[in-house]
Structure 1
Amino acid sequence: MLVLADIVDGYTDKWTYVPGETIQLHLNRATVQANVDLVIYAANAKPYQTIQLDSLAPQTPAEVARRNGFGYEVTAEYTVPNDMDSGIYYFGKP
């Protein structure tokens, strides 16, 4: 059974992307969760697409994260579709 992703925090490898580029997702969760549906939402909070992840797990932030960044491992990758409209999107509930 797939369950919706319950993400504590996370980030992408950069701020903006163009169609065809791959986004690296660095996601953190409070406990291990297998077979996860990660919903991508458009800026209007409507679901755009759902991707499936094998698992999500807790990640420990680097020391002095406010200065050095969280340092999370890559959790998943997503390639921006060629027909995706320009705009703001959220991985997980906005």
Structure 2
Amino acid sequence: MGLLDIVQPGVLNGEDVVKVYKYAQEHNFAIPAVNVTSSSTVNAALQAARDIKSPIIIQTSNGGAAFYAGKGIDNKNQNGSILGAIAAAYH
């Protein structure tokens, strides 16, 4: 039984994430986490994961999320970072 027999491809949350982690642990492999800073790096990471048929964790740093939001967004009280992280998640 493969991972895609347990969860559907695409964005996962909740119990499906737990299933992926348990599957990886039982089959002795790590799930790579890729730090992204732009839509281009998100696309590159997703395409690489698709090509090798691997799950992937997309992550952003505080500064990377602010950069993702764009220079026109004020980062006072971390608002720019929050908006950038949300935009990246919707990507």
Please give the range of the TM-score, normalised by the shorter of the 2 chains.
under 0.3
TM-score by length of 2: 0.24
**Structure with the larger RCO, 1 or 2 (CA within 8 Å, 6+ apart):** 1
Larger strand share, 1 or 2: 1
Larger helix share, 1 or 2: 2
